[in-house]
Amino acid sequence: MVEFYDKGNYVSKYADSHLDFSIRRCDALVSYINKKQKTVKTMLDLACGTGTFLNLMQEKLSINKCVGLDFSKKMLEYAMQNIKNDNVEFIYGDMTDFEFDEKFDLITCNYNAINELSPISKWEKVFSLAYKHLNDNGMFSFDFNTIYKFSNGVRTFYASNEEYDEVAKMTPNKDNSIEYLTITYEKTPDGQYIKEERKATEYVYNLCEIKKLLKKVGFKNIKIGDKNFDKCNRKKQNRLFVICEK
């Protein structure tokens, strides 16, 4: 799956197209943290990608130390070049197998990065590593794509702007995995097109199974809902947001 991010010129396109999500996710999480009167002095963002979300969180909450972890070299390269913030650092690593000496007040994992993991025991690994690396009463928050999102058969998306034309096709398999095929025609300054093809697989799991695993590793006060963690019709949501505490 790492090839999906490391291939061609994808990362800067990703950064542009995902900025809005990071801003909205940061606003919602910060207002939840403020409402609960929680203090966040240290933060770890698993599968941090371009680092945008981590940087926004640092600026909003004046966090002393933020660590971003990812295993895409291109994502980390982009993050290190674009985020100039002494309180934010980036580390190459696998979210299913990492070890830090320190603990954190907040651990996050955003934009369905967790859906890249299969089988579900890898989700459990992430949950238990997050638990282990949290201070007491620290918070773990992530979002995931739901089975509902992929229950509507094959879907295609089209995007076009000055830099590229792109077609993406999503094909659900019977085993709750989804194949993504993305074909991009990048426009060069001399009017030519460069074709780039990328494939990826995502895995979706049942909400009850996910909640059971969070409880099993020890998390309490588990809230699963809309982007503000509020109650919603969870059976009809494409994406659900989770927050829980150690």
Ligand X SMILES: C[S@@+](CC[C@H](N)C(=O)[O-])C[C@H]1O[C@@H](n2cnc3c(N)ncnc32)[C@H](O)[C@@H]1O
| 3/39 with CB nearer ligand X | 3
**In whole angstroms, how close is the CB of 142 to ligand X at the nearest point?**
9
Of 226, 235, 238, 239, give the one whose Cα is nearest residue 149.
238
> How many chain residues touch ligand X (CB under 6 A)?
20
Out of 28, 43, 48, 88, which residue is the one contacting ligand X (CB under 6 A)? Answer: 48
The answer to whether 182 contacts ligand X (rule: CB under 6 A) is: no
Sign, Cα dihedral of 130, 126, 239, 82: positive
Asked if 75 interacts with ligand X (CB under 6 A), we say yes
Q: 202 or 245, CB closer to ligand X?
A: 202
Q: Do residues 18 and 24 make contact, with C-beta atoms less than 8 angstroms apart?
A: no
Question: What strands, in cross-sheet order, belong to the sheet with 164-172?
Answer: 155-160, 164-172, 177-187, 193-203
Residue 162 in tokens:
């000055």
Q: Please say whether the beta carbons of 202 and 176 come within 8 A.
A: no
Figure out which of the listed residues 47, 200, 217, 243 binds ligand X, where binding follows CB under 6 A. Answer: 47
The SS3 of residue 104 is strand
Of the residues 95, 200, 210, 243, which one makes contact with ligand X according to CB under 6 A: 95
Residue 184, CB-side half-sphere exposure with 13 Å CA sphere = 20
- The residue number whose beta carbon is nearest to ligand X equals 49
Fill in the per-residue mask, 98 to 137: x = in contact with ligand X (CB under 6 A), - = not in contact.
Answer: ------------xxxx--x---------------------
Among the listed residues 42, 58, 72, 141, the single contact to ligand X using CB under 6 A: 72
Rounded Cα distance between 95 and 217, Å, is 16
Question: Residues 11, 75: contact at Cβ < 8 Å?
Answer: yes
Binding of residue 67 to ligand X (CB under 6 A): no
Pick the piece of the chain touching ligand X (CB under 6 A) from 43-51, 154-162, 183-191, 209-217. 43-51
Which range in 42-50, 191-199, 218-226, 237-245 contacts ligand X by CB under 6 A? 42-50
Select the residue interacting with ligand X from 87, 96, 201, 228 (CB under 6 A). Answer: 96
> What strands, in cross-sheet order, belong to the sheet with 42-46?
88-92, 65-70, 42-46, 104-109, 134-145, 239-245, 220-225
Please select the residue that binds ligand X; options are 49, 58, 204, 229, rule is CB under 6 A.
Answer: 49
Q: Is the peptide bond before 119 cis (omega within 30 degrees of 0)?
A: yes
Q: List contacts with ligand X (CB under 6 A).
A: 2, 5, 18, 22, 47-49, 53, 70-72, 75, 94-96, 110-113, 116
